[in-house]
């Protein structure tokens, strides 16, 4: 009896209409697929702030950033979930008084990046990001 049931189900799996339906189900995932992980090298300037809140130092800097799915993986800031849409990747965490504690923004079309951190050692970073050509060499640890 089991052998008969298996034989009856086998032709429906080979049916050409089933193959078409399966292929049509895959089309949306192929069209809207996002990269699972991207490694970025960002070149720009960092502004470090003094204890009184005034800018102390401005110098060129390179940021190494990994975005996996919708998660920021950063050596200094740790892991954060990001808001991702077709034009930008962003994150904003507010301090208890409503001011910006940490802000992260990348324009997906131009590669412009802005990081603002007001916690611990306050700084601002602005620059332009590019995809790392050899991600296996990117070591953020």
What are the residues whose beta carbons fall under 8 Å from the beta carbon of 9, sequence distance 6 or more? none
φ and ψ of 7, to 5 deg = -65, -35
pLDDT for the residue numbered 8: 45
pLDDT for the residue numbered 131: 86
Q: What does the DSSP 8-state code read for residue 87?
A: S
pLDDT for the residue numbered 110: 92
Radius of gyration of the chain (CA): 24
pLDDT tens digits in sequence order for the chain, 141 residues long: 444 444 444 444 555 665 655 555 555 544 555 556 788 899 999 999 988 889 999 999 998 888 888 888 878 777 888 888 889 999 998 888 888 888 999 998 999 999 998 887 899 999 999 987 765 555 555
What is the separation, in whole angstroms, between the first and last Cα of the chain? 59
φ and ψ of 123, to 5 deg = -155, 165
Domain segments of the chain: what residues? 2-31, 37-132
């Amino acid at each position: 009896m089991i052998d008969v049931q298996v034989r009856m189900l086998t032709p429906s799996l080979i049916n050409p209409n089933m193959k078409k339906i399966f292929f049509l189900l895959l089309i949306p995932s192929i069209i809207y697929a996002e990269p699972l992980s991207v490694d970025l090298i960002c070149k720009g300037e960092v502004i470090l702030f003094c204890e009184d809140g005034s800018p102390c130092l401005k110098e060129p800097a390179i940021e190494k950033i990994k975005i996996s799915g919708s998660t920021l993986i950063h050596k200094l800031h740790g892991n954060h979930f990001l808001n991702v849409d077709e034009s930008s990747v962003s994150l904003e965490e507010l301090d208890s008084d409503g001011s910006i504690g940490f802000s992260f923004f990348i324009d997906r079309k131009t590669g412009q990046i802005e990081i603002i951190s007001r916690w611990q050692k306050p700084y601002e970073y602005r620059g332009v990001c590019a995809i790392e050509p050899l991600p296996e060499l990117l070591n953020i640890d």
